[in-house]
Structure 1
Amino acid sequence: MTNEPEQQIGVGTQDAFQRLWTPHRMAYIQGESKPSGTGAGDGCPFCSLPAKSDEDGLIIARGEAVYAVLNLYPYNGGHCMVVPFRHIADYTDLNGPETAELAELTKRAMTALRTASGAHGFNIGMNQGEAAGAGIAGHLHQHIVPRWGGDTNFMPVVGHTKVLPQLLADTRAMLADAWPVD
């Protein structure tokens, strides 16, 4: 035991913790830009993105029925999604050409991510419905998350924080340049 008084930590007092501030995530946490309903005209961001330029909408590539776009709140650098232009919620609602093109753009996204960033593997999938974790349940979208050996470190495991070393606009340009063409 020491005779020194206990040091109290107050506002503005430095402690041993390093902080990574990510205030842009508050929009996601608070549900900003989430559609107000289930219809195409209810503020669905996946319906409004195609009207923007590729750079402004973070669109990597466009097909006839679907497009590839970066995720605004990525799990890893390069996390993108393949989204049908048509506002539908369920995978079973895709028609044949949409299903085929969704699969083809998923393959191209994987190729582009391997070329541009050397991804070692991928998590690919869809969350169907709010109960399954879909952030925007009214508009189908398939996630393609690149993975690298050892990419799960103390930050996401202990700190519940992901460090992304590149701006989304730079990631979009890198993937668009690496996107395979027919």
Structure 2
Amino acid sequence: MTKERAPQVDRAAVFAGDADGLERLWTPHRMAYIDGEAKPADRSERQCPFCAAANADDDEGHLVVARGKLAYVICNLFPYNSGHLLICPYRHVADYTDLTVPERDEVAELTQRAMVVVRSVMGPDGFNLGMNQGDVAGAGIAAHLHQHVVPRWSGDANFFPIIAQTKAMPQLLADTRRRLAEAWHIEKEYK
């Protein structure tokens, strides 16, 4: 009986490319997202999940947290962390430069308010804020602009998503939505 050798694994440093001194965090599970799995077939308002959510009644159990005149706040259906919100204009526009000044201002105001409300309800240590403009930049729904508000806690990153293709979420989306929507209407003063 011959003894089998364990497969040899090359260190990243021996792969092709110039050494740049940076560590790499490989996330192959994100390829399904990048390849467009479960994205709308076209970029029209007809198939846009943000337009559908904006036009749904609040009692239908969707994830809208709060509504403004020109934009609204919704829980991300595929959150990075509990409390991950999206600020979306009602109007179906793709690019930040397509917003009118009043739309831009309300998106900014709702982003600021979202941070205050999430802080009061969930107590994060910080936030990631951002917009991915276009498919190449990582926008999941590139046809409808949306601002991410992602609460962060010290030590919230772990290797579950990489090793086990599993994300540990301590709270159900419906519960997160309910708690934030209730606080949104209670928290009047913010700055």
State the TM-score bracket (shorter-chain normalisation). 0.7 to 0.9
| TM-score scaled by length of structure 2 | 0.75
> Match for 1:31 among 34, 37, 40?
37
The CA deviation at 1:159 is: 3.9
Distance 2:124 2:66 in 1: 19
Equivalent position of 1:137 in the other structure: 142
CA contact (8 A) 2:84 2:148 kept: yes
The question of whether the paired residues in 2 share the 8 Å contact of 1:40 and 1:87 is answered with yes
Letter in 1 for 2:179: M
Amino acid at match of 2:120: T
Aligned residue for 2:50?
Answer: 46
Q: What TM-score results when the alignment is normalised by the length of structure 1?
A: 0.78
Q: Percent identity?
A: 53
CA contact (8 A) 1:84 1:102 kept: yes
Change (3 A) 1:112 1:28: farther
Matched, 1:178 2:183: yes
Q: 2:85 aligns with which of 80, 89, 95?
A: 80
Structure 1 segments unaligned to the other structure (5+ residues): 1-25
1:72 and 1:28 map into 2 onto residues whose CA distance is 16
User: Which deviates more from structure 2 when the two are superposed, residues 55-64 or residues 128-137?
Assistant: 55-64
Q: Structure 1's 69 and 124: CA in aligned 2 closer, same or farther, altered over 3 A?
A: same
For 1:119, which of 110, 121, 124 is the aligned residue?
124
Which one-letter code corresponds to 1:31 in the other structure? E
CA deviations on 1:35-59 (whole Å, 9 max, x unpaired) are 2222222x10111112223352200
CA distance in 2, matches of 1:142, 1:111: 16
Question: CA contact under 8 A between 1:109 and 1:144: conserved in structure 2?
Answer: yes
In structure 2, which of residues 44, 67, 70 is the aligned counterpart of residue 65 of structure 1? 70
Task: Tell me, in whole angstroms, the C-alpha distance in 2 between the residues paired with 1:165 and 1:29.
Answer: 28
Q: How many pairs align?
A: 155
Partner-residue secondary structure (3-state), 1:150: coil
Q: Structure 2 unaligned runs (5+)?
A: 1-31
Aligned-pair distance for 1:153? 2.6
How many Å separate the matches in 2 of 1:139 and 1:108? Answer: 21
1:93 paired with 2:98, answer yes
Partner Cα separation in structure 1 for residue 43 and residue 36 of structure 2? 18
- Is the contact between residue 78 and residue 145 of structure 1 (CA under 8 Å) also seen in structure 2? yes
